[in-house]
Structure 1
Amino acid sequence: MVSPFSASSSAPNDASAIVQNFLNSLKGGSGAQQRAEEHPFTTLPDLLPSTTTVPIIESADSKSIDALCSHLPPTLLLLAQEIDDLAEVDPNSETAQAAIQAHSLDQKKEILERVLRSPQLHQSLGSLTVALRDGGLPTISEALGIKVRDGGYMARGGMPMGNDEAVEAFLEGVKKTVEDEEKGGEKMDTD
């Protein structure tokens, strides 16, 4: 005869085993998830922390600083000039451009450092990472003019790359695009 106590004492173990098996099946059931665990890749916020980027700005020359500032919205540079009524200033006007050019090298570095430390930049980098991982690589790379392998699509088929593979392909594309532009600039300089 089976004791009721032995059945009830084994029931929690059975339920626990069932729950554990279910959780294990969820964890290992996705091929993409297994690939991500086999080959983890960084996120953009982890790759570009202010502890790494700010020292680069601090040691950069004026040509590099000017090149970086050219990618900032003019309004951001005008804000640093403490203009009274910024709403009335056309950021593309000659007056605004003169105000932007009036910044000293140290002021420009300070503006760039504030941008690099801003939570908005880190949030945007995180959002870009998510968009790349969720299949946005083809659209994002095309919009930014970045050449990525296979146009951001998987080698066999019309599905966009996703997960860490997409982030890695994006970063490789950025690197290749910059290298190609530098080579193109060198060719123009030597012509």
Structure 2
Amino acid sequence: MTTGQIDPRYGDATATAPPWADVERLLTDAQLYWITTVRADGRPHAVPLVGVWHDGAFAFCTGADEQKARNLDGNPHVAVTTGSTGAHGWDSGRDVVVEGVAVRVTDPGELQVLADAWYAKYGEDWHFAVRGDEFVELSSSGGATGGGARVYRVPPDKVLLFGGPHGQTRYRP
């Protein structure tokens, strides 16, 4: 990503934009994200989910019958958000928005790398194996617990960071 550009309309134009490494750390360390997809009729659909920031992109999974998957079949544009503002107040936390196009991951080798990343981050709570071109969740005994989940990566087209004296900072590849 390039150096962040502070939007002077929403913050102190003399502030220093946080380095991209700080933004990536927020994306990597987050435990929960929100994803917004677009329904066929144009309405937004926003839900919380787990995921991993890996190799410069956000990765998530969803069942083929879930609303997210149906939305992505028609329109792959998404916004992914995470942050720490919450109850801490707007001036003490950091919130991140990643905008991009969700691309389905089907290569077994790439899927295994992502399954390993999920396990490293979440442990047994989100332990996946690769079956064909999907994830299957594993039980603590190692057996599959249900149907498959499609895996997607969202390389960022634009990232916005909110909070602190910089207010709003934009990063682009």
Normalising by the smaller structure, the TM-score range is under 0.3
- The structure, 1 or 2, with the larger RCO (C-alpha pairs under 8 Å, 6+ apart) is 2
Larger strand percent:
2
Larger helix percent:
1
Query: If the length of structure 1 is used for normalisation, what is the TM-score?
Result: 0.22
Over alpha carbons, which structure has the higher Rg? 1
